[in-house]
Amino acid sequence: MKDKSKKWHLLSPEDYDKVFSTLSLKYPNLFIKDKVFILKKGLHQDIFNSGELEFSKTVIRKFLKLYTEQVKYIELHIENTPRYDLEGKEAGLVTKEDIVGLAKKKEEIKKQVTLKKKKKSEKKKFADGNKEGKPKNSSKKLEAENANGKKPKLGLNIKVGNNNG
């Protein structure tokens, strides 16, 4: 999968591969290497209800999110294309509403990415501008000195040395 390295906040490529391997052993008719099937709606619930889980529900959800965001998976979304259950049997069809929803989701993601890039460039521009126009810290240093000409440590005014004589 090409995009998984960009989405480490979901799962690392190694973790994705571990989950895929485990699911392909448990559901060999659905999770096949180099072959993508459109999953039936609510498939995650079927996985959760199928018995003992080797991974947490969160990890499985993250895996399924990555799986369904693959370019190959998205390209398969054509009206009346079959969806598949855990046994690899047809379990519903892709509807026109699914396709419209997917298109909206893609547009939303594009907007989020554009906004993120814009914010990042503005933040960088602001940071670069601040570096040039910042006054030196000398005025702050003068304010921090106390009456003895020494800087206070941890908010305490500590005098060093013997004043007796």
Place 36 in a pLDDT band, splitting at 50, 70 and 90: very high
Place 1 in a pLDDT band, splitting at 50, 70 and 90: very low
Which amino acid is located at 20 in the chain? F
| Mean pLDDT within 43-70 | 92
| C-alpha angle 21-37-90 in degrees, rounded to nearest 5 | 115
Q: What is the C-alpha separation between 32 and 48, in angstroms, rounded? A: 20
Assess whether pLDDT exceeds 70 at residue 68. yes
DSSP string, 115-138: HHHHHHHHHHHHHHHHHHHPPPTH
* CB atoms inside a 10 Å sphere around CB 86: 18
67: left (phi over 0), alpha (psi -120 to 50) or beta: alpha
> In this prediction, what percent of the chain has a pLDDT beyond 70?
73
Is the pTM value of this prediction over 0.75?
no
pLDDT digits (tens, 9 = 90+) for 73-106: 988 999 999 999 999 999 999 999 999 988 888 8
Place 147 in a pLDDT band, splitting at 50, 70 and 90: low
> In this prediction, what percent of the chain has a pLDDT beyond 90?
47
CATH for 3-94? 1.10.1710.10
Q: What is the pLDDT of the chain when averaged over all its residues?
A: 81
Spatial CA neighbour of 66 closest among 85, 39, 104, 30: 39
Find which of 4-8, 50-54, 93-97 is predicted with most confidence, using mean pLDDT: 93-97
